[in-house]
Each structure stands twice: as C-alpha cells, then as structure tokens.
Amino acid sequence: MDREVSRDSTIGEYQQIPSLHEIDTEGVGPSEWDHIQNLDSFLTRVYKYYEEKGLYCILTSRILNLLTLGFTISFSGFLLLYVDWQAARSGCEVEDDCDFINLAIYTDPANQLTAKYLTMVITYLIIFSLYWVWNIVHLIADLPGLIEIHRFCCVKLGLSHREIQTMEWSELVSRLVMAQSTMRLCVVKELTALDVVSRIMRKENYLIGMLNKDVLCLQVPIPWISKRVMLTKTLEWNIYWCILDCMFDDNFLIQRSFLEDEAALRKRLALMSIFNLLLSPFLVLFLSMYFFLRRYTTIRAQYAPEAGLLLRNGLYENSTSSLTS
C-alpha cells in the first residue's frame, strides 16, 4: 500500500504539458507574431531552437565552443612559435642535468625563427583570430532572435525550457499548426505539418535532389577505390554560399536571375576555389589541431589491453567468491 502511495506521489510530480488552449497569453499583444513576413526563416529558427535544446543550452554550447576555439588558436600558436621541435626530439645528453624549458622553448621567436616561417604562423593566427572574433559578433547578433524564439515557445506554445529538451519534434509541429488558429503565422493559407517541414527543409531538399541526380558530381575519381560521394562540411558551406543562398528571393522563390546568369555562378565558384586554395594549408593545420583537442578523450576512452585483462580477472574473482559464499 505504501508503495502505491509513493508511486502515485512520484507520478504527481511530473506535470503534463499544457494544451494550446490552456496557455496564458496575458501581457502579450495578440498580433506580436501575426503575419510573419519571412516564415521560412522563422520556422527554421524554431527548428534550430528545438534541435539545440533551448536558449540556455544554445548559449552554453556556443560559449564553450568559443572557449575551445580560443584555446585551440592560442595553444597551437604556442606550439608553432615557442617550441623547438628539433631540440625536443634530440633530447638531453645528460638526463640528470636536463632542463626541457631552456632546451626546447624559444625565448625570442621573432629573432630565432626564419622570416618565412614566422610570416606563415602569424598569418595563420590572424586568420583564425578574426574567425574567433566573427563568432563572438555572430553570437551577439543572434541573441535577440534567440530570445524572440524563446519567448514564442514559452508564451505561444506553452513550452518550458525543460519540456523543449524532452518532447518529440512531431509534438512541436502539431503545436505550431494549432497556433495558426489563434494567430495568423501564415496569411496565405492554413499551416499544415507538411508546410512546416517543407519550409524548414527547402534548401536541403534542393541539395538532396541535386545529389540524387548527380548534378554536383562530387565523386572523387581515385583509381582502385569505389566511387563515393565526398561531401565534407567545408564543401557543404561552399555549395550553400555559391548556389543555395543565391537561389531564392525574399519570398523563397527561385530567382529568374539565378537561372539566367551563368556568368555570376561561374564567378562565385571561381572566387571560392581561389579562396579555398589559399586557406587550405591553414585549414588543414587548424582542423587537425581542433579535432585532436576535442576528440582526444574519446580516442583514449578505450582501456589498455592489460587493464582489460586485470578487469576481467577482478570480475572473475568476484563472481567465484559470490558463488562459493
């Protein structure tokens, strides 16, 4: 009986998500989110808000990403400017008298390194420091929009920060469709679940269609290797910048100028090719360092062979002792 009472009290602690008709919208203007001009952008921001699990998770993730990025830039700069790798590999002649700091650390890299090498390292640091600053500016610029979506989900959809982390995407879509009856998000027609998903994935659908029809020809012709589509994140950014971001107008209709102006497309592709060629050495170095620092704990998470044997031996002894007792 006591178990049933405690169980009922535990269940009572969980609150059911309120329906759209139970949401208190007092204090918010009835037309605050009515007649949204760029509905595709608004729904995409709602999806990103859901995908990244709410305002606080988004801010925490981006701030930590900025810290990781800043540490990667500064640490790689230290390794490239201040560490004498040749001296570090050679080691000490007398181990008892070895001072690694004096042996393998440059005290004045400006005078101890060649001008060509120093120029490349400084260029690398400037490029990715500007990228780090751009990420800070981007976060500050995105903050009002994030707060707006947070207020929309809390006030109009009745979703708290904890609920947005656990609910299904289909539930959020159904709430968006129901919200159309109380406020006119879309004035052209009634909003359906298919409309919501189609608007969010408008660019992605075109990209998927181009991949299926082999329009982009992303297969790398390497001998003795089966043809595989090579779509890296950097290449995806290039496709968006050169093609998809220029394809649609403000109403997300394909622009006639995009279909007719082949010279502009060639110019964008040529410009990005030169840009990628110039940045590729720095990108390889930075991404290798960034990947290593972010994934090192994952790579080293597997136990060593001897540790596995000791663990199995300990489990065997525990199991045999429990059986005999």
DSSP secondary structure string, 214-232?
A: T-S--B---TTS---B---
> How many angstroms separate the CA atoms of 73 and 287, rounded?
11
Q: What is the DSSP string of 78-127?
A: HHHHHB-HHHHHH--SSGGG--HHHHHB-S-HHHHS-HHHHHHHHHHHHH
SS3 state of residue 83 = strand
Q: Percentage of residues in the chain with pLDDT exceeding 90?
A: 16
Residues in CB range of 18: below 8 A, 6 or more apart = 158
CA max distance for the chain: 84
Residues in CB range of 314: below 8 A, 6 or more apart = none
> How many angstroms separate the CA atoms of 38 and 168, rounded?
25
Which pLDDT does position 2 carry in this prediction? 43
Residue 158, by phi and psi: left (phi above 0), alpha (psi -120 to 50) or beta? left
Inter-residue contact 156 to 178 (CB < 8 Å) = no
Q: Which backbone phi and psi does 15 adopt, to 5 degrees?
A: -95, 135
> How many angstroms separate the CA atoms of 54 and 45, rounded?
11
For 208-263, how does the pLDDT look when each residue is reduced to its tens digit (9 = 90+)?
888 888 788 777 777 766 667 777 888 888 888 888 888 887 667 788 888 888 89
Q: Two tokens at 15?
A: 């609150």
Record the pTM.
Answer: 0.69
- pLDDT over 70 at 11, yes or no: no
Which pLDDT does position 234 carry in this prediction? 83
For 119-159, how does the pLDDT look when each residue is reduced to its tens digit (9 = 90+)?
988 998 998 899 999 999 999 999 999 999 999 888 888 88
Which pLDDT does position 249 carry in this prediction? 76
Q: To the nearest whole number, what is the mean pLDDT of the chain?
A: 77
Residues in CB range of 298: below 8 A, 6 or more apart = none
Confidence of residue 268 (pLDDT cuts 50, 70, 90): very high
Q: Which backbone phi and psi does 83 adopt, to 5 degrees?
A: -100, 125
